[in-house]
Amino acid sequence: MKQLIECVPNFSEGNDLSIIKQITDAIESVEGVLLLDVDPGKATNRTVVTIVGEPAPVIEAAFRAIKKASELIDMRKHKGEHPRMGATDVCPLIPVSGITMEETAVYAQTLAKRVGEELNIPVYLYEYAQKDKSRNNLSVIRGGEYEGFFDKIKLPEWKPDFGPAEFNERAGGTVIGARDFLIAYNINLNTKSVRLANSVAFDVREAGRVKREGNPITGKVVKDADGNDVRIPGTLKSCKAIGWYIEEYAIAQISMNLTNYKITSVHTAFDEVCESAARRGLRVTGSELVGLIPLDAMLEAGKHYLQKQGRSLGVSESELIQIAIKSLGLDELGKFDPEQKIIEYKLKNAAEEKLINMNLRAFADETASESPAPGGGSISAYVGSLGVALGTMVANLSAGKRGWEDKAAIFSDWAELGQTIKDKLIKAVDEDTRAFNKIMDAFGLPKSNEAEKAARTAAIESATKYACEVPFSVMQISFDALPLLRFMVVEGNQNSITDAGVGVLCIKTALRGAYFNVLVNAKGLKDQAYAIEIVGKAKDLLKRNHEVCDDILSMVENALV
DSSP H helical segments within 342-407, as ranges? 343-347, 360-368, 376-399
552: nearest Cα among 514, 516, 499: 499
Which is it for strands 88-97 and 174-178: parallel, antiparallel or unpaired?
A: parallel
The yes-or-no answer on residue 432 being catalytic is yes
Alpha carbon distance 209, 222 (integer Å): 11
Backbone angles phi, psi at 359, to 5 degrees: -80, 175
Q: Is 238 left (phi over 0), alpha (psi -120 to 50) or beta?
A: left
Cβ–Cβ < 8 Å for 297, 182: no
Which residues is 176 bridged to in the sheet? 91, 125
Say which of 37, 39, 161, 432 is annotated catalytic.
Answer: 432
**Burial of 367: CB neighbours in 10 Å, binned 0-12, 13-18, 19+:** middle
The yes-or-no answer on residue 304 being catalytic is no
Say which of 37, 39, 82, 304 is annotated catalytic.
Answer: 82
Burial 439-459 (b: 16+ CB within 10 A, else e): beebeeeeeeeeeeeeebeeb
Question: Cα angle at 343 between 337 and 346, to 5 degrees?
Answer: 70
DSSP H helical segments within 143-188, as ranges? 145-152
Alpha carbon distance 170, 12 (integer Å): 12
Instruction: Tell me which H or E stretch contains 47.
Output: strand 46-53
Burial 13-44 (b: 16+ CB within 10 A, else e): bbeeeebbeebbebbeebeebbbbbbbbbebb
The dihedral built from the CA positions of residue 243, 247, 251 and 256, taken in this order, carries a sign that is negative
Alpha carbon distance 183, 298 (integer Å): 11
Alpha carbon distance 339, 298 (integer Å): 12
Q: Is 319 left (phi over 0), alpha (psi -120 to 50) or beta?
A: alpha
In 407-542, at which residue ranges do the beta strands (DSSP E only) sit?
none
Residues with a catalytic annotation lie at 82, 432
